[in-house]
Structure 1
């Protein structure tokens, strides 16, 4: 076997090479994904890494493993305590493991494009460096991971926006920025990656893997030539930021002389290149002087030993002369303390950035010189077919008026669906019947609904909607998922470009003491209504189906539930409740679920987990970290309505758990500010909570403990819903999650908070029972549902570890969420 084949075999990845490991297989509920299990062999490391990185665990890059559960990791080895101590008595580790860079390289080579993209997003949450140029030593190829990085979106505040408190939120591949590259020659006594980590951010964090990390000293076997990249993201605070603007830092692993294509790529795309080297002999000197043009922005970081100091000095003088460099282009490690060294390095980088005109985005960089033989991951036929259609649809949307695009292009979900929803709700509520006979009134409403559907079915489809439906119907499953993912990314980027300026305008109006209230109201409405996301196209698809079915027309659209069922089974989320109308497209949902049963060949057992809470309290993030999902988060992406996602349960675990699939429900926030002025906002909250809790086996109530009044409002809605479920004979389990719980005196505060919560729940129960005329039966919350205040209350720390734009997800947060997940399945 070649070293590459042996590596894949050791890691148990042979069957997945190339690109056969799917996102669905990683999201599957397995014993290892829900219960703590340390790897006991090399072939367990890949899935251990994947499960941990999918939940944004900052410790997922540790490749140590134990011979059996509960034992000490085998790389630790000590001498016999009975022997006399000597410096050699503490043994060096003599074990066989892998460096995390080899593991990441192997995992990416074996992952399909959708899994690669998801891994990039999760790794960026951990603030891990991301693979940019991926070497495949078995094929001798290098791949530029452009598609894989497209879903990575960052938010930052350049110092030019420090006063206005504005920010930028953008996909990193389309962001123009300078790039600083680091390469090395030979083996170096100083860690290049460690130097970069210290430069990029004041907060200590290992963006790049280095030798002094756990398992960092294992030799690389397949990852030499890997180029990783991370991004300096300013937060707009000069006391926190190292540099005022965004830029990329690229790191070539291995000796640059053995990865000349990668080196040439970095040289042609970088504002500056830092070469780390210990000693510079004649051969190294010749290589450097021939590799760079005179006046290039090249810097030397040297760490010479005493034996070769004279030779290195002579070589450096020659390099400075021939490349026309200054003494400031040389940094000497060990000649000064580390703080001064890093300050000088920062000064060099700051000087480069201040005068650099070499800003490029990753899209532009991907257009590489053919001589380098670096291919882009978007050249595959599946990607091209999906990209072409998606890009055309979004380009058509960009040319339309942003405020009227929904009305002109997505008419089926406009006035027709809104009016149909009102009639449907009235059929159930009968609030405006007056003196009309009830049967006659219902018949009138039913007739109106049919007329609306008939009119809706006659609407001529715009080309963009026709193309969207054709792609959904005709593309294969793999191409379809890529197409929808491309649409989502492009539409999210478009929405962000619209929303961020509107939010800045809204902020300015709020701070203006003489602001125009009508302008404030209109701006807020634009923020709520301007975004056009993939969910709107999927909603259009569902409305076209419902209209076609009701009017018995357009038979070609009757295949759409089968398409959605196929997507749902493959891990694609489906809208359950329309957030704009507050209505469930019941025919669509029922027909899709019927198709799911047909395609699965039976009636699977499903366990439902949902989350409720106020807007922007971290509900979607909680589910994303808990199950490795990607429910929408970020500016303008507050969940509207309710969405469901289906996760497979491993065959070996189905009998133990008692179900075949996990259905996760993400919901819009209760007490949403943009809905507060609506007459039925309270009723809407009650209906949403009732529907979601009715569907759930476990309902997670997300509470922001720092706002007592807000918490009371949410509890009131939740208690009403549970009371109704009790009356209907359904008893879902309820878990309360208290977010941002960072108190040092945690135990005492926890007990106080639990007592306060129980008091509030009892008060709400009495009030709700009185309103429902059930106060004889329900006097306290535990009369409604079984609830253990110790086991069913969870106190979770804040999401981020730090306060800069480069802060990773807190390990304390991910650990508590993991324990909560395990509790749900116990």
Structure 2
């Protein structure tokens, strides 16, 4: 074997002799990844980052703790994040509406970078990793800045020649910050729930996700298991001997082969650039899954991100018989930032969990040989990627031959890039090796499995904190009794279902008196009240079950952190049950294509109603409602009430940003006492009369309503295909104190309605009446209503009907029509004539609704909601740039959504909407509607 390796290498040397003097690779200057070019020579001369070995054969890390701590402190100080090293940033902090929510200009000083990153990432902006400051840009690139910003600078600095210039007074680094340093700094300063949300957004942008977060302050590097819990992956799965079927699963639970890349000493190859090319089809421009040195700012030296382990998952997305995927099955790629010897703990984690490890280096000397010898006996496949003419050729060959038996490798495990023109050949070779590893891999691990290995190696796991584990235990007490979801809802959540539907029907009939027949109205009302009293008394006989008691204890926990973990675990566990219990849709209706192509009735059959946190809160609401009704009817004394504190618990959830159900779609009835009780409790807790602005979104099923709201405001309305609540939910967003006076409100209450039926379904019958009720409530409470649709035919007639009803009451909200592109291909940007044509089609629909309601005067939609095509009709490009599941969110989508958000806030600021309300006024409106 020794002679074989040497002969092949020498043969390559003779054929490519002219390449020996070349000092550049196809990726640019030959420098270690993530290092400054000036430091390359110093590193080659001084490699004391790793001692040769301890007595047990494992290398030790040089003691640079003081220097690393200093770097961390300097980075945090530079970014202005020192305050948040102890008091962590929360999701509520990131969501707040401020002056900056209306701006989209580049950061000017380093302290702008964290907030710019947060805003852009929550808005799914794919340019979030560009850390270039405005002061570093060429003058021609600053023309997009707001004129008001320039004016402010001119007014402040004046024109005097002896005044210091702005660039002299603002302290800026010599070079922009490396994006990975910014990411690590933000994650270190964020609480577990903001970390989780940031990683979900990064996944949607198809960015590699941090798995091991380095902390040079304490050297307690953290495995981010909880932070990754919220990430979902979708792919086409080939069952043995069966057809390709669609699957959706939590990233943490999915077992896949892991392919790891790491650097030993100096390497002229860019690992990240190579990984991006390996994961991308040959006919596509490689997507930047991993940051690499050719990206803006990413060539700058890393200060605190070395030791970071990132992972990116490849998911097959082709359902056709043609093999269009790079890899036939899901596979994960891991990337260790920094040199192996300095981060042995992280490298050891990869060697013990990966199916294959690729090591990039230019030199294999005595130190590198001893380092690799410590891997002897490992069952992992090892591959070496060399650039031999950048290093010491003879030494490389000598130690390579020694490693043959140690690592059980042969020539096929040594990949040599012999010129700057064979990058494509190297990528194809790597892809072929990965395909072979996938097919023969006996080691497939999930992130949960990986976390177990991390614990044995001494890494900290974020889920191991006491609050998280206590919350998980409580949730498992609840979920262990749920074997059949429908049976559990009937036997354990007994106040809902048929009892709640019966009560809703009686309450509606009390308002409408449509079935009185020959009975007098007073007598008929009396009968209905007796029936309602009997139903409420029946509800009140039930006691809280064990699961409900545990749930109430969970949300009543005095520890806010433990309460948040409890709700997070409940959501995750119940969604997992929903995925396991769903019926597999046929290939033709797989939701990787446009969701609105599925008929509503068929969609409901394939995706049956699941169990969610809202069902437990709805049960609390019914206990509260029954008790309040009996007190009002004189059947129970005020002192006998047991569930008064329920509204306080629910109001705390609203204040913490949790989406709360306003109306159940199954009954389309508002639990009036429960909702108004929560609102009154909110009023009391907020100490005064906080000004509210209400924004609602309506639209047909599958037209991107929830995704639109989540992108616009960083909210967490459910968007999973396996589990999607069908009710109407509200979520509260606070406005920063310095912006409240200018905006004119203290909070924005966002209402996400359940999907309505598009115009294709007959606009008659009980279902239509229920949807009109839902639309009337959502619009009636709103200052602004956004109507989302994919095509004119998707316009819910119930929404148009609601407009007509509200006009009679003298309330018409500011209306914004959003036409979202759900097509599979690019669509040209609409022109003003398209907007006018769309408005004409909507006018025809509104006239048809008016005729259906037998109104004497035909009213066009533009007459009803004062719809100006230029100001009230928005076209949003398609969400994905390419075909899912590997497609990232398109930049055009997030930019259009930001512009819509900016316009909405501008309307609020300029008083275009109706007068802002307080909570007391909102309570009155709920009762009237």
What SS is found at the alignment partner of 1:558? coil
Match of 2:551 among 443, 468, 471: 468
CA shift, 1:405, in A, is: 1.9
- Which stretch has the larger CA shift, 283-292 or 104-113? 283-292
Structure-1 separation of matches of 2:293 and 2:533: 70
- Which residue in 2 is equivalent to 1:750? 831
Q: Give the direction of change, closer, same or farther, for the CA distance of 1:759–1:94 in structure 2 (3 Å limit).
A: closer
- Which residue in 2 is equivalent to 1:662? 748
Answer yes or no: is 1:395 the counterpart of 2:480: yes
- Which residue in 2 is equivalent to 1:696? 782
- Which residue in 2 is equivalent to 1:350? 435
CA shift, 1:33, in A, is: 2.4
Structure-2 separation of matches of 1:601 and 1:732: 28
User: Residues 272-312 of structure 1: CA distance to partner in whole angstroms, max 9, x if unpaired?
Assistant: 11101122222212211233436640000112335522322
Structure-1 separation of matches of 2:600 and 2:242: 24
CA shift, 1:369, in A, is: 5.9
CA shift, 1:236, in A, is: 3.2
Answer yes or no: is 1:596 the counterpart of 2:677: no
What SS is found at the alignment partner of 1:638? coil
Match of 1:788 among 844, 868, 883: 868
Q: Give the direction of change, closer, same or farther, for the CA distance of 1:591–1:71 in structure 2 (3 Å limit).
A: farther
Mapped contact 1:302–1:332 kept (Cα < 8 A): yes
Mapped contact 1:413–1:543 kept (Cα < 8 A): yes
Structure-2 separation of matches of 1:375 and 1:294: 24
Answer yes or no: is 1:364 the counterpart of 2:440: no
Q: CA RMSD in A?
A: 2.7
Answer yes or no: is 1:640 the counterpart of 2:726: yes
Match of 1:315 among 399, 402, 418: 399
Structure-1 separation of matches of 2:456 and 2:364: 29
Structure-1 separation of matches of 2:324 and 2:554: 47
Structure-2 separation of matches of 1:337 and 1:809: 32
User: Residues 385-406 of structure 1: CA distance to partner in whole angstroms, max 9, x if unpaired?
Assistant: 2111012211221xx3333221
CA shift, 1:213, in A, is: 0.6
- Which residue in 1 is equivalent to 2:843? 762
CA shift, 1:710, in A, is: 3.1
CA shift, 1:507, in A, is: 6.6
Structure-2 separation of matches of 1:603 and 1:67: 43
User: Residues 519-564 of structure 1: CA distance to partner in whole angstroms, max 9, x if unpaired?
Assistant: x999976645441111111211211221232234763421111111
Structure-2 separation of matches of 1:756 and 1:67: 45
Structure-1 separation of matches of 2:138 and 2:856: 52
- Which stretch has the larger CA shift, 16-25 or 659-668? 16-25
Q: Give the direction of change, closer, same or farther, for the CA distance of 1:161–1:322 in structure 2 (3 Å limit).
A: closer
Match of 1:447 among 513, 530, 541: 530
Mapped contact 1:175–1:361 kept (Cα < 8 A): yes
CA shift, 1:340, in A, is: 1.2
Mapped contact 1:18–1:111 kept (Cα < 8 A): no
Mapped contact 2:362–2:391 kept (Cα < 8 A): no
Q: Give the direction of change, closer, same or farther, for the CA distance of 1:222–1:94 in structure 2 (3 Å limit).
A: closer
- Which residue in 2 is equivalent to 1:434? 517
Q: Give the direction of change, closer, same or farther, for the CA distance of 1:739–1:574 in structure 2 (3 Å limit).
A: same
Structure-2 separation of matches of 1:566 and 1:738: 35
Structure-2 separation of matches of 1:760 and 1:126: 35
Mapped contact 1:498–1:530 kept (Cα < 8 A): no
Larger radius of gyration: 2
Answer yes or no: is 1:138 the counterpart of 2:221: no
- Which stretch has the larger CA shift, 530-539 or 588-597? 530-539
- Which residue in 2 is equivalent to 1:485? 568
CA shift, 1:450, in A, is: 1.9
Structure-2 separation of matches of 1:544 and 1:290: 64
Match of 1:240 among 324, 332, 347: 324
Q: Give the direction of change, closer, same or farther, for the CA distance of 1:215–1:521 in structure 2 (3 Å limit).
A: closer
Structure-1 separation of matches of 2:76 and 2:686: 32
Mapped contact 1:802–1:808 kept (Cα < 8 A): yes
Mapped contact 1:117–1:148 kept (Cα < 8 A): yes
- Which residue in 2 is equivalent to 1:175? 254
Q: TM-score, normalised by structure 1?
A: 0.90
Q: TM-score, normalised by structure 2?
A: 0.81
- Which residue in 2 is equivalent to 1:572? 658
Match of 2:465 among 377, 380, 397: 380
Structure-2 separation of matches of 1:127 and 1:41: 28
CA shift, 1:412, in A, is: 1.2
- Which residue in 2 is equivalent to 1:407? 490
Mapped contact 1:149–1:173 kept (Cα < 8 A): yes
What SS is found at the alignment partner of 1:494? helix
Structure-2 separation of matches of 1:524 and 1:4: 51
Match of 1:217 among 299, 302, 323: 299
CA shift, 1:704, in A, is: 1.0
- Which residue in 2 is equivalent to 1:84? none
Mapped contact 2:842–2:861 kept (Cα < 8 A): yes
- Which residue in 2 is equivalent to 1:158? 237
Answer yes or no: is 1:810 the counterpart of 2:896: no
Q: Give the direction of change, closer, same or farther, for the CA distance of 1:69–1:178 in structure 2 (3 Å limit).
A: closer
Mapped contact 1:17–1:109 kept (Cα < 8 A): yes
- Which residue in 2 is equivalent to 1:86? none
- Which residue in 1 is equivalent to 2:334? 250
Mapped contact 2:268–2:390 kept (Cα < 8 A): no
Q: Give the direction of change, closer, same or farther, for the CA distance of 1:295–1:423 in structure 2 (3 Å limit).
A: closer
- Which residue in 2 is equivalent to 1:516? none
- Which residue in 1 is equivalent to 2:154? none
Counterparts of residues 671-710 of structure 1 (less than 5 Å)? 671=757, 679-705=765-791, 708-710=792-794
CA shift, 1:162, in A, is: 11
- Which residue in 1 is equivalent to 2:381? 297
Match of 1:616 among 694, 702, 706: 702
Q: Give the direction of change, closer, same or farther, for the CA distance of 1:68–1:346 in structure 2 (3 Å limit).
A: closer
Structure-1 separation of matches of 2:668 and 2:225: 38
- Which stretch has the larger CA shift, 609-618 or 200-209? 200-209
CA shift, 1:19, in A, is: 6.0
Structure-1 separation of matches of 2:698 and 2:138: 37
- Which residue in 1 is equivalent to 2:129? 61
Mapped contact 1:16–1:111 kept (Cα < 8 A): yes
Structure-1 separation of matches of 2:849 and 2:293: 61
User: Residues 139-176 of structure 1: CA distance to partner in whole angstroms, max 9, x if unpaired?
Assistant: 11111111111111111112449974521111111111
Mapped contact 2:495–2:539 kept (Cα < 8 A): yes
CA shift, 1:736, in A, is: 1.0
Structure-1 separation of matches of 2:251 and 2:231: 6
- Which residue in 2 is equivalent to 1:517? none
Structure-2 separation of matches of 1:11 and 1:522: 52
What SS is found at the alignment partner of 1:790? helix
Structure-1 separation of matches of 2:418 and 2:895: 39
- Which residue in 2 is equivalent to 1:88? none
- Which residue in 2 is equivalent to 1:12? 80
Mapped contact 2:664–2:727 kept (Cα < 8 A): yes
* Length, aligned pairs only: 787
Mapped contact 1:620–1:631 kept (Cα < 8 A): yes
- Which stretch has the larger CA shift, 475-484 or 619-628? 475-484
Q: Give the direction of change, closer, same or farther, for the CA distance of 1:371–1:156 in structure 2 (3 Å limit).
A: closer
- Which residue in 1 is equivalent to 2:4? none
Structure-2 separation of matches of 1:419 and 1:641: 18
- Which residue in 1 is equivalent to 2:801? 720
Structure-2 separation of matches of 1:287 and 1:258: 11
Unmatched 5+ stretches in structure 2: 1-68, 143-171, 591-598, 907-929
CA shift, 1:476, in A, is: 2.5
Structure-2 separation of matches of 1:45 and 1:808: 23
- Which residue in 2 is equivalent to 1:125? 204
What SS is found at the alignment partner of 1:193? helix
What SS is found at the alignment partner of 2:556? helix
Structure-2 separation of matches of 1:529 and 1:752: 42
